A and B are shown apart, each in its own frame.
Chain A
Amino acid sequence: MELLLSGFELIARIDVLIALVIGSVGGVIIGSIPGVGPAVAIAILLPATFSLDPIVGLTLLLGIYGSSMYGGAIPAILINTPGTAANALTTYDGYPMTQRGQAHRALSLAYSASFAGGIFSVVCLIVLTPVLAAVAPLFGSREIFLAALLGIVLVIVTHRGQTTIAAFLVSFGIFINTIGLEPIRYTQRFTFGQTWLTSGIDLIVVVLGLFAISQAYSLLIGRDDSPKAPKLTGSIFTGMGELFRHKRVALFSSGSGVVMGIIPGVGEFLAQFFSYSYAANTSKTPEEFGNGSPEGLIASEAANNAVPGAAMIPLLALGIPGEALTAMMLSVFYVHNVVPGPQLFESQPEFVVALYLALLILNVLVLIFLSVATKGILQVIRIPTRFLGVIVLTLSFVGVYSLRNSATDCALAAGFGIIGYILKRLNLPVVPIILGMVLGGIMETRLRTSMARVNSPLDFIDRPIAAILFGLILLAVGLHLRNLWRSRKGM
């Protein structure tokens, strides 16, 4: 209780509350614009948060992260275009409901399910805190190395049908992270004698290039479009009670969102598919799935909104980001010398609790905002695509240039933008590059530290958690190989 109060004291400040409001409202608006999404917004805002207090900067980014999926459901339901990638399955049942004239019911269900998922994940975070605080110190260098390796393995094997290119992109990310002056012996690595490469390639430059600038190119080059959303009539919350009639689906989907969020490298996408499949397979009316099933809508929205809270668990407890957005947040921690990981729970537990409370409050704020502003948000959806590209490119400039006022950084970001654009065109993932950069750096440091303390390779996994993590890595690889074998045999 004392810890809870200390955490509350940390966020009971006007600047934190303003950041929470701006983050939640901004996240909903950004999420509702197809083609922008939270990754672009967070990438652009990252450098601006460096000058803020860590708790202020993080609540702002958390606000955007946690609320964007609420907003992403709006275009998914109304114009059959998901606002964020995590709302893809919402179109399956949301849009058919809109076509039947039930747009307000679909929105209401989506908001309620998102709220249930968001609150469920925060409750799980709070309940798990004592467990995390007890378990996190058991993670030494070798366990953190193995957890990061598990994240790398999972991000590769979960890209089914694209595992080789995902493995290539992870390797590319690890490679980018090694460029520059090596920090222990100060030897040059792949600098080709260029002084501008000596300090390495900044993660934020790559993130902005791959997410924001590539998206701007995509919008500027693509077909110009100005989506028309249907008019909404009636109250947005008329169907809230319907959620309780499908509480089994809501609970399972929120739970699967939490589990998938905790596992590094998995995230919203798999959580959604897993929950949707479960809901479809256990429903009394499976024929409605894809034609406007409320259960399908609940499964998709509850699962994707449970992920952000859960994704904070590996980040805070181990310092290991599970996906691109938490990888970006990691850089905010580092800039402020707040190192997430086992020691954070020991030295600054109130900081961790404050972040949980911020997540809890933002879910309430978003619901209040949506209750009054949904009709207004429809105007945002109508921004023409190419003009949106102009806006994103203008904002990307602030993100990159304000880092070091370096034209070289900007040129690199523009180059990564081209790579990101080509990857998007080919339907290839960009997240493995970011995770390769972040997890590669963690693995290099942790392997060096831990190898100094082991005599034989077996010593590396002689502790229980290390052995479990090693077992999970073998399991993930084994299951992937089995699936490959079965698909080759046509089973």
Chain B
Amino acid sequence: MSDNSDSVGLPQIQRRTGDTVFGAICLLGSLVLFSQMWSQTAWVNGQGFAAQPGFWPRLAVSGMVLFSAINLAMSFRDPSSEERLISLGEEISLWLRSIEFALWFMAYVLITPYVGYLPASLIFTVALTARCGYRSPQAFVAAALTALATVVLFKSFLQVRIPGGALYESLPAAIRNFFILYL
């Protein structure tokens, strides 16, 4: 039998770099919610627990505290299995890098009502393609075509609800409606 077949069965899950930090964040967040539990949920006198508006959130938050505490304790107890392929600092910097792309996404969201869906998509895909390191004309054309195809598929054909941009109002009357409805 090969190595692969020897390990048939459920894969062994190993703790990874950053597991303890994530466990600590989970516990901290859960404790903050736990401290707010009584002020943020209601408990009505004379009602059974199942009919209490506060029963499920309180149960869920208590579960979060309990299991995050156990998980954190286990991450301290079981560090030997951790594959330290990269350092903790590197791992956390990767987590933080996701914030950059969250901001790119939010910029796309925020400019759409002003410039319109098609122009916003074109700006977003071309700029993000450049940010990712693709600087060739073919890459920009591919990015622009991606934006165009997405807009045509979803807004023109599937008629998803994305309002026309404020910029469209300045277009000539002959094409304004078309842009608002389809692009």
Q: 1/0 per position for B1-34, CB-CB distance to A under 8 A?
A: 1111110111011101011001100100010010
Q: Is the interface of A mostly helix, strand, loop or mixed?
A: helix
Among A220-275, those with CB < 8 Å from B are: 220-221, 224, 270, 273
CB–CB B108/A397 < 8 A? yes
CB–CB B134/A451 < 8 A? no
CB–CB B64/A427 < 8 A? no
Q: 1/0 per position for A130-170, CB-CB distance to B under 8 A?
A: 00000000000000000000000000000111101101101
Which of A117-125, A284-292, A462-470 is the contact stretch? Answer: A284-292
Contact partner of A393 among B53, B105, B113, CB < 8 A?
B105
CB–CB A168/B101 < 8 A? no
Contacts of A394 in B (CB 8 A): 108, 121, 124-125, 146-147, 150
Q: How long is the Cα–Cα vector from A411 to B106 in the complex, in angstroms?
A: 7
Q: In the assembled complex, how far is the CB of residue B167 from the closest CB belonging to chain A, in whole angstroms?
A: 16
Among B133-168, those with CB < 8 Å from A are: 133-134, 139, 142-143, 146-147, 150, 154, 158-163
CB–CB A277/B8 < 8 A? yes
Task: Report if B59 contacts A (CB, 8 A).
Answer: yes
Q: In the assembled complex, how far is the CB of residue B27 from the closest CB belonging to chain A, in whole angstroms?
A: 9
CB–CB A425/B2 < 8 A? no
Total A-B residue pairs with C-beta atoms closer than 8 Å? 229
Which of A9-17, A303-311, A416-424 is the contact stretch? Answer: A416-424
The chain B residue with its CB closest to the CB of A396 is B105
Q: How long is the Cα–Cα vector from A111 to B62 in the complex, in angstroms?
A: 47
Q: How long is the Cα–Cα vector from A378 to B88 in the complex, in angstroms?
A: 37
Q: How long is the Cα–Cα vector from A401 to B105 in the complex, in angstroms?
A: 11
Task: Report if B89 contacts A (CB, 8 A).
Answer: no
Q: In the assembled complex, how far is the CB of residue B82 from the closest CB belonging to chain A, in whole angstroms?
A: 11
Q: How long is the Cα–Cα vector from A216 to B41 in the complex, in angstroms?
A: 36
Which of A92, A394, A443 has the most B CB atoms < 10 Å from its CB? A394
Contacts of A491 in B (CB 8 A): none
Task: Report if B171 contacts A (CB, 8 A).
Answer: no
CB–CB B19/A289 < 8 A? no
CB–CB A164/B8 < 8 A? no
Q: How long is the Cα–Cα vector from A428 to B67 in the complex, in angstroms?
A: 14
Q: 1/0 per position for A418-457, CB-CB distance to B under 8 A?
A: 1001100111100000001000100110011011100000
Contacts of B56 in A (CB 8 A): 174, 178, 440, 443-444
Contact partner of B162 among A401, A414, A440, CB < 8 A?
A401
Task: Report if A381 contacts B (CB, 8 A).
Answer: no
CB–CB B101/A221 < 8 A? yes
Among B66-124, those with CB < 8 Å from A are: 67-68, 70-71, 74, 91, 94-95, 97-99, 101-102, 104-106, 108-110, 112-113, 121, 124
Which of B14, B61, B71, B91 has the most A CB atoms < 10 Å from its CB? B71
Which of A188, A290, A396 has the most B CB atoms < 10 Å from its CB? A290
CB–CB B63/A417 < 8 A? no
Q: In the assembled complex, how far is the CB of residue B163 from the closest CB belonging to chain A, in whole angstroms?
A: 6
Q: How long is the Cα–Cα vector from A402 to B151 in the complex, in angstroms?
A: 12
Contacts of A178 in B (CB 8 A): 56-57, 60
Task: Report if A410 contacts B (CB, 8 A).
Answer: yes
CB–CB B41/A189 < 8 A? yes
Contacts of B44 in A (CB 8 A): 185
Q: In the assembled complex, how far is the CB of residue B143 from the closest CB belonging to chain A, in whole angstroms?
A: 7
Task: Report if A171 contacts B (CB, 8 A).
Answer: yes
Q: How long is the Cα–Cα vector from A171 to B68 in the complex, in angstroms?
A: 10
Contacts of A280 in B (CB 8 A): 1, 5, 8
Task: Report if B36 contacts A (CB, 8 A).
Answer: yes
Contacts of B18 in A (CB 8 A): 422, 425-426
Contact partner of B150 among A175, A386, A395, CB < 8 A?
A395
CB–CB B50/A447 < 8 A? yes
Task: Report if A405 contacts B (CB, 8 A).
Answer: yes
Given A387-B132, A422-B22, A440-B60: A185 in contact with B67 (beta carbons within 8 A): no
CB–CB A162/B53 < 8 A? no
The chain A residue with its CB closest to the CB of B37 is A190
Q: In the assembled complex, how far is the CB of residue B53 from the closest CB belonging to chain A, in whole angstroms?
A: 4
Task: Report if B177 contacts A (CB, 8 A).
Answer: no
Q: In the assembled complex, how far is the CB of residue B81 from the closest CB belonging to chain A, in whole angstroms?
A: 9
Given A51-B158, A164-B71, A398-B160: A426 in contact with B63 (beta carbons within 8 A): no
Question: Which 7 interchain pairs have the tightest Cβ spacing?
Answer: A290-B4, A171-B63, A290-B2, A161-B13, A289-B5, A175-B60, A451-B50
Residues of A within 8 A of B (CB): 47-48, 51, 92, 159-162, 164-165, 167-168, 170-172, 174-175, 178-179, 182, 184-185, 187-192, 213, 216-217, 220-221, 224, 270, 273, 276-277, 280, 286-287, 289-291, 296, 384, 386-387, 389-391, 393-398, 401-402, 405, 407, 410-411, 414-415, 417-418, 421-422, 425-428, 436, 440, 443-444, 447-448, 450-452
Q: List 22 A-B contacts (CB under 8 A).
A: A48-B154, A164-B67, A168-B26, A171-B61, A172-B64, A175-B33, A175-B57, A189-B53, A289-B1, A290-B2, A290-B3, A390-B132, A393-B101, A394-B150, A397-B109, A402-B160, A421-B98, A422-B95, A425-B18, A425-B91, A447-B50, A451-B48
